[in-house]
Chains A and B, each alone.
Chain A
């Protein structure tokens, strides 16, 4: 199944694969992190980072250095690398890469819309957006007076248009809580991405559906836990769960009626991969769930990388 793609792979993807391997080598190692832990001041951190790949981005900053500057510059490195790859990519790789940024785009759109609703300045809002999620007409979001105009004027030209139309009517847009809107959009995005990967087939489909299923399930669990005790109704909750993943559909039914952490744990323990995550947490403790899921996600991403690059 994988055999014959390897023959033609390098024509389109060879250069980029080499770049990706290079980036992989540039990630900070455990030794780097140890060094960073030993630092006493921000200048020490800058000094240590200058020996890594982040050096060139930080060396032009005058001291005293601010924590937000360091974060900004490191993000800038990520954005630069991403843009470089995007330029070099052909279809369908370029679409795939763009899909990765839709999540950030959703966040930016939601941010600007809330800011405009509360009458903040557009320039300030633009500065707060995540760089990976910028698109050209983003500044015109602030011009719209209500959600219908917003959709008609701006969003219909962005890749996010289908997510708005298939899940929300215009009345909903007006009085929906902003978080619910964000999560509905994200659900539509995940489903769309999933379909796209399935269409691509091959190794992509297999690896990505695994990762996306994990993401969908993780979001379902988080939404359940975080909405316990809030005004989110069960139906609303169910509407936010994606239509794929290990938990679909029976797990979602159980999660929708959960009212506290232990019920969630009970629902999740029927699925072996998640049971191991929940076994790390003691009863009644919910703070560590995010951390456990994060670790699991990183593990899976590493595996995906190894599989993809080393076969």
Chain B
């Protein structure tokens, strides 16, 4: 993995970090959008579920009242006393939606609903109807519970993702970019300084050579003098033609 150099330390270059930050930012934004879409869908479902729940609870309460009316007011206590364990139970599962684990509830019947003789002599029909109504009510309630927990979990997840997106966008990337541009600026300046120095030195050398040439004209031994000084006469030539010969001052 090329985050490490040959010595084994983590040594990623800044440009690479910037690349990763940009890619991560794009991915997280996509994730946030997907989660938001799911969120809106769940919200719509919650609204319709709640409305239907109000209706269903009303009907089931009323069917309980009917049962009580026909079978005698004590029917509630009779039923309660006869029950051992619940036969309708709820269990939870995990569902993975766009990378977020959402809990989901579903109900299942366990054990035989005792084929009841409740209200044998009066009201049996109403009791059975009441049971049917309440089973439906439970269905809706369980669904609503799933939706609401997913809603809360998604809300958390969206907030976290958005926080990360914003952090990347407003903190990490600018910092990296600033560092990169600062470094670039420094390097450019160093280069310019170097270039300037080179130019200056070349200027000096040129002047030296011209001075030499001028003084060599006066003396017969101009060549001998110049070679003593270490500068050959030929170095007064145009720099452009020095491409043929290597100028020892220029390093690059």
Q: Which residues of A contact B (CB under 8 A)?
A: 71, 75, 107, 110-111, 114-115, 118, 120, 125, 128, 130, 177-180, 182-183, 186, 218-219, 222-223, 225-227, 229-232, 240, 286-287, 289-291, 294
Contacts and interface: CB of A to CB of B under 8 A. Distances in A.
Given A120-B81, A222-B124, A225-B124, A230 B74 contact: no
B30 interface: no
B81 A115 contact: yes
Interface stretch (B111-119, B148-156, B184-192, B230-238): B111-119
A71 B73 contact: yes
A139 to B, nearest CB: 16
Chain B interface residue count: which class? 20 to 34
Contact of A290 (B70, B74, B84): B70
Contact of A223 (B82, B116, B121, B126): B121
Contacts of A287: 125-126, 129
Given A226-B117, A230-B116, A219 B81 contact: no
Contact of A179 (B72, B73, B84, B117): B117
A229 B117 CA distance: 10
B125 A225 contact: yes
Interface of B: 70, 72-74, 77-78, 81-82, 84, 115-126, 129
A222 B72 contact: no
A227 B82 CA distance: 18
A114 B117 contact: no
A183 B121 contact: yes
Please report whether the interface of chain B is mostly helix, strand, loop or mixed according to DSSP. loop
What 9 A-B pairs come out closest when comparing CB atoms?
A: A226-B124, A179-B117, A128-B77, A114-B81, A219-B121, A115-B81, A230-B115, A290-B70, A179-B120
Please report whether the interface of chain A is mostly helix, strand, loop or mixed according to DSSP. helix
Contacts of B78: 110-111, 114
Nearest to B119: A226
Given A226-B125, A294-B70, A111 B120 contact: no
B67 to A, nearest CB: 10
Given A118-B84, A287-B129, A222 B121 contact: yes
Max chain A CB contacts within 10 Å: which of B81, B119, B122, B126?
B81
Nearest to A129: B74
Contacts of A222: 120-122, 124
Contacts of A107: 72, 74
Nearest to A71: B73
Contacts of A227: 117, 120
Nearest to B78: A111
A219 B122 CA distance: 7
Max chain A CB contacts within 10 Å: which of B82, B84, B119?
B82
B199 to A, nearest CB: 97
Given A219-B121, A225-B125, 6 more contacts: A114-B81, A222-B120, A223-B120, A226-B124, A287-B129, A290-B123
Contacts of B82: 114, 118, 178
A73 to B, nearest CB: 13
A149 B124 CA distance: 31
A138 to B, nearest CB: 14
Contacts of A232: 117
Max chain A CB contacts within 10 Å: which of B78, B82, B121, B126?
B121
Nearest to B122: A222
Given A111-B78, A114-B82, A219-B122, A230 B72 contact: no
Nearest to A112: B81
A7 B164 CA distance: 100
Nearest to A231: B115
A232 B124 CA distance: 14
Nearest to A124: B77
A32 to B, nearest CB: 18
A116 to B, nearest CB: 9
Contacts of A183: 120-121
B125 A130 contact: no
B126 A290 contact: yes
Max chain B CB contacts within 10 Å: which of A178, A240, A289?
A178
Nearest to B115: A230
